[in-house]
C-alpha cells in the first residue's frame, strides 16, 4: 500500500508511526544526493536504515534490525519509491504494517512548504 505526501505530512508528529528512510547514510544526511532534487536531507524524525541491510534477511533478522514490535506501523521512503517498495515488502514479511511513500524524497524535496532536515 502506498501513502501520499499529504497523508504523510499530516502524520509526521504521530508517535504511533515510524518513518524509515531506506536510502544510504549519505543521502539521508544530505551529504550526497541527486542534482535533480532542489534540496537534500530527510523527512523530520525519520530513521535511517539502508535497504541493503534488509534484503536477504529472515523476518526475525529484519525485526532485530528494525527494533520495533511486530505490527508496528512504518512508512518507508527513498529517492524515487523503488528501494522503499522493496523495503516495505521485507517489512511486511517480518510482520510490520509497512507502507511505501512512492513519491519519496524526489517529490517531497520539490515542496518548500514540506519540512526537511539535513543540508
Catalytic residue among 36, 76, 78, 92: 78
Angle at 17 between CA 46 and CA 89, to 5 degrees: 80
Is residue 76 among the annotated active site residues? no
Cell triple for 23: 536510502
CA-nearest of 35, 82, 90, 33 to 58 is 90
Q: Which residues are catalytic?
A: 78
Amino acid at each position: 500500500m502506498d501513502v501520499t505526501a499529504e497523508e504523510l505530512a499530516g502524520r509526521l508528529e504521530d508517535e504511533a508511526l515510524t518513518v524509515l528512510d531506506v536510502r544510504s547514510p549519505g543521502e539521508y544526511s544530505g551529504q550526497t544526493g541527486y542534482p535533480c532534487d532542489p534540496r537534500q536531507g530527510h523527512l523530520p524524525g525519520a530513521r535511517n536504515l539502508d535497504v541493503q541491510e534488509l534484503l536477504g534477511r529472515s523476518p526475525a533478522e529484519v525485526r532485530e534490525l528494525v527494533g520495533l514490535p511486530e505490527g508496528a506501523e512504518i512508512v518507508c521512503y527513498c529517492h524515487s519509491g523503488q528501494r522503499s517498495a522493496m523495503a516495505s515488502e521485507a517489512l511486511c514479511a517480518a510482520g510490520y504494517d509497512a507502507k511505501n511513500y512512492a513519491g519519496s524524497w524526489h517529490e517531497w524535496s520539490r515542496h518548500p512548504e514540506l519540512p526537511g532536515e539535513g543540508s
